[in-house]
């Protein structure tokens, strides 16, 4: 078995582990060093560092401290890596801990970050998913079981100082356009809860004050939440600092395109087995700005879909110009209304779209003024026939436990 | 062989064919009537009605009259269809005409509608694609050949008067926010070039004055440009008027998600073989607002992808808020830069992304402030190895004919 | 459109067409010449040359003259092809004739060739399949509709004289082991009904006397009946004579692995569009004895299977040694018994296994004394749920028209 | 995590573990009891019980004691199961032991069982495969790496006494036709090395004397070696005795159709996680004789194949009658010759066909006298381009370590 170069203890705070960090900054020291060609294992906290429990109460989702997220394992230094190289990462496998065979999904309160459909689901809710080998199901959402397309929501290399400055500058500019917005437009650096790995004292404080938050995806990859960047895939990351500094976390047992529930996919703690190699000067050779990747040869084959269309006319009937975000929101809402006809509550349907291997396609982006997005719902994950028929829905899941909700305080 | 209920003559103007129309209006008389369970064939002009030629000169794309588009075949009336029903359409097959074994793709001039990347490709350009059975290749883009995922870009039922009024109202409101924009935000009704099928005289003029343009997708489906709504798929359309009134056109031999080049996919004339059935009261039974569909059991299997990420920071480095449109644009630009390393011109790469069975996924839409979109480029359509390697690109297609361009007048 | 270099007339006997032949012999003159890189179209009779009718009477299947089959279109000469080359054939497309939108499947009488399960179905029976675009269904087998994986059952190049002699020698040796067997072990040359293309007079008679029958697959490919050698595939054929001499026929709209019903798949007349190229000296370069091929990128995606196992213990309980033929027969019989529980007759089930895109896998061939074969039945071709459940089969198709049978005379 | 109801110790002989057995007999006591709906984990020895080592010496394969195999874990009793029921088994997951990240493949000496190509490879050889997460590669076969389609080679329920007697009777009859054959036609009961689980004393001896060997697949499933019966699949087993008695072993990291190398696939020790349910009276409800199953939604997607044909004319040119076994052997030999052109030794190619996710299809079984079988070689598992081209093979793997061989003593 490959060596586990970063270990965690689920019973301890991630702040106690100096091979973990929760901000991006070039000064964070390498947690471990490896060589090109090596394969190794890294253990990861769930993205909240254990703030969410396996129970039927959503108060932990309501009260979560989002300034702490995401707890990442790393950075892993790769000998010989230099700015301009491509770091080739093979995700050889991802797994769960024997003592932690469950994951969570939730919607944040609109007061605390919200989600894609926060206007429709403004309060904190939570579903728990049990893992049964490669399958999962939830006691909060009846009638559905599926295999996990397991992947890291967040993975990437440390930014250079110049890149970090650019991130902070452009995000601050956006923030300043509407600083009081709820939920906020941007999460600015926040030193209090920053965990800078091995960095201590003044160096820690200086870095914490400007360390980029981990929420958005950026040029280096980061929190892309791409469900297809799963075990078996091969990723080419831009390198910005000496030794690259690869960090990873936010493991998902499964997720739908868009991760629309924000909290998020089926979130879990676990481990990831990776192999690294270098393409020297690869950024220039291939004109790479953002990471590129090849998907895994192994993925759940739920190939029979029911596909919902959405266009960029919002819920109020207002016309927007080629807005894919709104079009996808309509497709999601259409799917939720459809699922409600089979007895699901809106919250069950919403959570399902965030968790199952749902595809979201940008179908048309030029037919002014309407963008068209499609949501692909795999029918084989349901225990009953979901397709339309002459007689209307022939099955109802209603009556089972609904999705726990915690009212805003 | 099923009966061909609408025939066209490629050598005549579509305005001479009263079973063709180019606006949406409930008063357009049915071109033909069928019964539930029937299957039948409908012939279609290319979307421009023959304005584009199979040559190496892009002036026809530059000078195209977009007020004429799209020429649709129909409406086909279905006996017994009433508002509130679902019209189930099986696309049994789609084919080309023996005498017309080619299609076109192009970018409009920014002065005349532009395209997804019009800031980067502001002038009219055109590629021609030859069909070889189920495959296609272009003399303007070397090194690539692929099977067509043939589909109608535009299909849907007639709107009711109330729905038409709603379309016109909301689109006019958007138009009024920036009436002088180039390209325009919206295409308003335009009576001069309206073709209202069998409608004549005052009735024609009244309908033409308010008939909705066919460019955007809307609640009824319409110009969705969904590549996966291909032959073999089964679609459930909302019905708004007596007899439904199904119209279809804008056939594509192949298209990438987003149809980013706008003109458009690989555009062609041809025929479509359909079967219709009804689910009475289906809109209410299944809470249907926009069409839903099941994809075809038969589709080109180009399953090995190179995937490009894009985030919602634009080309100038400006930060946008969860804007999937901008994120997908970045993913497309990243792919174009990559392809240029193999010798393609930017225009060749852009056209290819518009034509090949490229997937566009909405990968992350909640990680403020960046949306993340991915463009999936199928590697098996290339005659050479497109994957990154230690030695850099090992093949170049440079030197062949580039994409014809017509300068703005 | 590519040129049609061989045309047929469905209203005339194939014996009248000198671009058709029904035996393999190197002396058959080329019917047409093409160049490497050319693509062209060839029209084909159904394999029996029109002996079977679209009706509900199986007497034509009972009385078929099998000494006439298969009627092949060709040989097509390829300029520059020499013995030892590989002829690369791209199957660009295959289609039906507008006036002939149907196909047939049948079981021969055991007196006249039988089939894989002739002991169980000893008399002639026939099913007719209607084509609806890319789909087919049969009035003789309710509850099932599927897309065709259309392919030529028979395709290959002319043998050299030496190869022909070898075929005749080895087959005669087998024949002689049991010359009176019914059905026969081998079909020997038979001059009376031989159609030698353009060959006339003494030359025709000499060739007819030794021309190999077209029934078995051999080194050159020939009657392989490989369902996956479908449109879109690319095949590498060994070349044995100057100009190669490519012939093709026995088009199938669809077939299951094994073509167990023998008469055969869904048999049809139609056309095939091909492109040819050469790899000079390719047989030696790649050690090619039999053809090799790459499957099509486009195939019906019926990916949800119910899989039946069979072992090499026969219906009488007798143990055989690693006999895959018997193991597959058991798997087929198991599937038939299963389908009968849903109301199908045995003949309906048998015909379905011969026609639908069923897979037959050689699963285990070393675990003495039992071979294990598996039959993969695609569940999505059925209009009802075929999977086992706690309550037993919930649907029955019984009561509809059964498969016509013609008693032996 | 589910409970591990059967544990093993890789450092101890399987004979010391009374929850293991190596013969089929209804008197073997249940090793553990579970209830319908339960899921649980069972650990398994490799099929030889640890006789093969991770080294470069094939003497252990030469000297293996095949009277000991296969060591199975079980029987697991299911409460309420009765003869005539179907036992529904969900394979939820399969995994390796952390301390045992490797597997073996080999060919037995012809003196000791041989393999599918034993006439061509008559002496013992061995390849070792290292596991890297979900991937594997071998130091003995360069240029290839692939994801495992992990599965149990052997799984099934205890036979009834009547069924056992039938097995022994029919196999003895075959054995008696050629008792001195090398390798043997049948493995008869052999008491000396029988391990009858918890059974002791006279009862053990009586059962051992007639307990069926585990080598062949039979009505109950058993040693089917079906690569697609992999983790994620759902199997319906006939039940013959009270409590069913499910046993499992012979785990494979990967295997090609046919398991042609006999020793066998990539053989490994590991664990399997299963869930059981019952369909009461299911054998009658669905006419089940042999197990049926649904394949996993998750499997390696190596969809680009090079396909080799074989016909039932043997290596000596002798004609056989519809013999699929011989046809598949020719397809395998054709593939081996092809691979040798890229520098592989015959033994490397043979081992690869036994280990990689190769498909074997029964393509034609009625075209007298030749059966046609196809071997589907996935091209994406190779690090170089395997397809034929005008210039011949452009890559050679020759020069690396070959497959260790141990000469017969």
Q: What is the DSSP string of C45-97?
A: --TTSS-S-SSS-THHHHT--TTSPPPEEEEEEETT--TT-EEEEEEEEEE--
Cβ pairs A/C, distance under 8 A: 7
- Reference C313, options D236, D168, D336; nearest CA is D168
* D311's tokens: 């016909």
Task: Write the DSSP assignment of A18-39 as a string of letters.
Answer: TTEESSB-TTSPPSEEE-TT-E
Distance in angstroms (rounded) separating the CA atoms of residues A103 and A268: 5
Interface test with A, best of B237, B364, B371, B392 (most A CBs within 10 A): B364
Whether chain D has a CB inside 8 Å of the CB on A145: the answer is no
Indicate whether A264 pLDDT > 90: no
Tell me if residue A338 falls in helix, strand or coil: helix
Indicate whether C217 pLDDT > 80: yes
- Reference D233, options D259, D272, D268, D271; nearest CA is D272
- Reference B58, options B140, B115, B127; nearest CA is B127
Cβ pair C325, D365 in contact under 8 A: yes
Indicate whether A398 pLDDT > 90: no
Distance between C308 CA and the closest CA of chain A, angstroms: 21
* B79's tokens: 């006996």
pLDDT, residue C367, reads: 94
Q: What is the ipTM of this complex?
A: 0.96
Instruction: Compare CB distances from D313 to C170, C184, C236 and report the shortest one's residue.
Output: C170
Distance between B283 CA and the closest CA of chain A, angstroms: 10
All residues of chain C having their beta carbon less than 8 Å from the beta carbon of residue B147 are 232, 296-298
Handedness of CA D48, D52, D58, D60 (dihedral sign): negative
**DSSP E strands, D99-178:** 102-107, 124-132, 135-138, 141-147, 151-157
All residues of chain A having their beta carbon less than 8 Å from the beta carbon of residue C301 are 303
Q: Compute the average pLDDT of residues B220-240.
A: 97
Distance in angstroms (rounded) separating the CA atoms of residues A83 and A90: 20
Indicate whether C347 pLDDT > 90: yes
Q: Compute the average pLDDT of residues D175-204.
A: 96
Distance between C298 CA and the closest CA of chain B, angstroms: 4
Q: What is the pLDDT of residues A186-237, one digit of tens each?
A: 999 999 999 999 999 999 999 999 999 999 999 999 999 999 999 999 999 9
The region that residue A245 occupies, defined by phi over 0 for left and psi between -120 and 50 for alpha, beta otherwise, is left
Q: Is the peptide bond before C102 cis (omega within 30 degrees of 0)?
A: no
Indicate whether A400 pLDDT > 80: no
Tell me if residue B342 falls in helix, strand or coil: coil
Q: Which residues pair with C40 in a beta bridge?
A: C274
Q: Over the range B339-374, which residues count as b (16 or more CB within 10 Å of their CB) and which as e?
A: bbbbbbbbbbbbbbbbbbbbbbbbbbbbbbbbbbbb
Residues 241-260 on C with a CB inside 8 Å of D are 257-260
All residues of chain D having their beta carbon less than 8 Å from the beta carbon of residue C113 are 368
Q: Judge: D325–C330 Cβ closer than 8 Å, yes or no.
A: no
Distance in angstroms (rounded) separating the CA atoms of residues D300 and C304: 15
Cβ pair D344, D353 in contact under 8 A: no
Report phi then psi at B164, rounded to 5: -60, -45
Distance in angstroms (rounded) separating the CA atoms of residues D39 and A15: 36
Cβ pair C266, C253 in contact under 8 A: yes
Q: What is the pLDDT of residues C317-343, one digit of tens each?
A: 999 999 999 999 999 999 999 999 999
Distance between A133 CA and the closest CA of chain D, angstroms: 5
Instruction: Compare CB distances from B366 to A260, A287, A371 and report the shortest one's residue.
Output: A260
* A372's tokens: 């068209």
Cβ pairs A/B, distance under 8 A: 309
- Say which residue the tokens 């080679």 belong to: D153
Q: What is the pLDDT of residues D390-399, one digit of tens each?
A: 999 999 998 7
Q: Judge: A385–C385 Cβ closer than 8 Å, yes or no.
A: yes
Question: What average pLDDT does chain B have?
Answer: 96
Q: Compute the average pLDDT of residues B372-397.
A: 95
Instruction: Compare CB distances from C260 to D227, D289, D365 and report the shortest one's residue.
Output: D365
> Helices (H) and strands (E) in chain C — how many of each?
6, 23
Q: Compute the average pLDDT of residues B193-207.
A: 98
Which secondary structure element, helix H or strand E, spans residue D294, and what is its range?
Answer: strand D292-294
Q: Which residues pair with C87 in a beta bridge?
A: C237, C278
Q: Judge: D369–C186 Cβ closer than 8 Å, yes or no.
A: yes
Distance between B201 CA and the closest CA of chain A, angstroms: 30
Tell me if residue D165 falls in helix, strand or coil: helix
Cβ pair D65, D91 in contact under 8 A: no
End-to-end, the C-alpha distance of chain C in Å comes to 48
If pLDDT is split at 50, 70 and 90, which confidence band does D21 have? very high
Q: What is the pLDDT of residues C65-81, one digit of tens each?
A: 999 999 999 999 999 99
Distance in angstroms (rounded) separating the CA atoms of residues A361 and A307: 10
Q: What is the pLDDT of residues D78-118, one digit of tens each?
A: 999 999 999 999 999 999 999 999 999 999 999 998 899 99
Question: What average pLDDT does chain C have?
Answer: 96
pLDDT, residue C400, reads: 74
Closest A-chain CA to D146: A297
Interface test with D, best of A3, A41, A274, A298 (most D CBs within 10 A): A298
Beta strands B217-218; B263-267: pairing state: unpaired
If pLDDT is split at 50, 70 and 90, which confidence band does C1 have? confident
Mention every residue, 6+ apart, whose C-beta is less than 8 A from residue B391: none
Indicate whether A1 pLDDT > 80: no
Distance in angstroms (rounded) separating the CA atoms of residues D193 and D176: 22
* Domain architecture of chain D: domains with CATH: 3-294 (2.60.120.580), 305-406 (no CATH)
Q: What is the pLDDT of residues D254-309, one digit of tens each?
A: 999 999 998 889 999 999 999 999 999 999 999 999 999 999 999 898 889 999 99
Q: Judge: B385–D380 Cβ closer than 8 Å, yes or no.
A: no
Q: At what angle do helices B324-340 and A324-340 cross, to 10 degrees?
A: 120
Tallying the residues shown for chain C, one arrives at: 409
If pLDDT is split at 50, 70 and 90, which confidence band does B303 have? confident
Distance between A388 CA and the closest CA of chain C, angstroms: 13
């Amino acid at each position: 078995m490959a060596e586990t170069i970063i270990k965690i203890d689920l019973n301890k705070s991630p702040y106690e582990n100096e091979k973990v960090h929760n901000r991006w900054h070039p000064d964070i020291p390498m947690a471990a060093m490896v060589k090109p060609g090596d394969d190794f294992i890294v253990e990861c906290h769930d993205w909240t560092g254990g703030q969410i429990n396996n129970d039927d109460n959503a108060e932990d989702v309501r009260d979560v401290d989002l300034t702490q997220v995401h707890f990442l394992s790393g950075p892993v230094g790769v000998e010989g890596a230099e700015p301009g190289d491509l770091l080739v990462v093979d995700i050889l496998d991802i797994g769960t801990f024997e003592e932690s065979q469950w994951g969570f999904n939730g919607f944040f309160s609109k007061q605390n970050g919200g989600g894609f459909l926060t206007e429709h689901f403004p309060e904190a809710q939570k579903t728990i998913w049990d893992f049964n080998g490669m399958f999962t199901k939830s006691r909060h959402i009846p009638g559905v079981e599926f295999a996990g397309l397991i992947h890291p929501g967040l993975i990437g290399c440390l930014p250079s100082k110049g890149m970090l400055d650019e991130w902070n500058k452009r995000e601050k500019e956006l923030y300043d356009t509407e600083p009081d917005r709820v939920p906020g437009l941007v999460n600015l650096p926040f030193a209090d809860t920053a965990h800078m790995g091995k960095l201590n004292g003044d160096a820690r404080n200086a870095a914490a004050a400007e360390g980029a938050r981990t929420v958005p995806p950026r040029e280096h990859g980061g929190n892309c939440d791409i469900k297809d960047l799963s075990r078996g895939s091969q990723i080419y990351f831009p390198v910005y600092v000496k030794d690259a500094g690869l960090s990873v976390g936010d493991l998902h047992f499964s997720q739908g395109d868009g991760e629309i529930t924000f909290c998020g996919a089926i979130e879990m703690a676990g481990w990831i087995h990776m192999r690294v190699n270098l393409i020297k000067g690869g950024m220039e050779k291939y004109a790479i700005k953002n990471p590129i990747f090849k998907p895994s040869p192994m993925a759940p084959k739920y190939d029979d879909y029911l596909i919902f269309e959405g266009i960029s006319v919002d819920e109020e009937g207002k016309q927007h110009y080629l807005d894919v975000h709104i079009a996808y929101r309509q497709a999601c809402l259409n799917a939720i209304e459809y699922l409600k006809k089979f007895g699901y509550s809106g919250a069950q349907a919403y959570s399902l779209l965030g968790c199952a291997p749902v595809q979201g396609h940008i179908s048309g982006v030029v037919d002014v003024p309407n963008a068209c997005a499609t949501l692909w719902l795999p029918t084989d994950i349901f225990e009953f026939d979901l397709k339309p028929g002459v007689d209307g829905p022939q099955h109802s899941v209603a009556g089972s436990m609904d999705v726990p909700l915690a009212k805003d305080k």
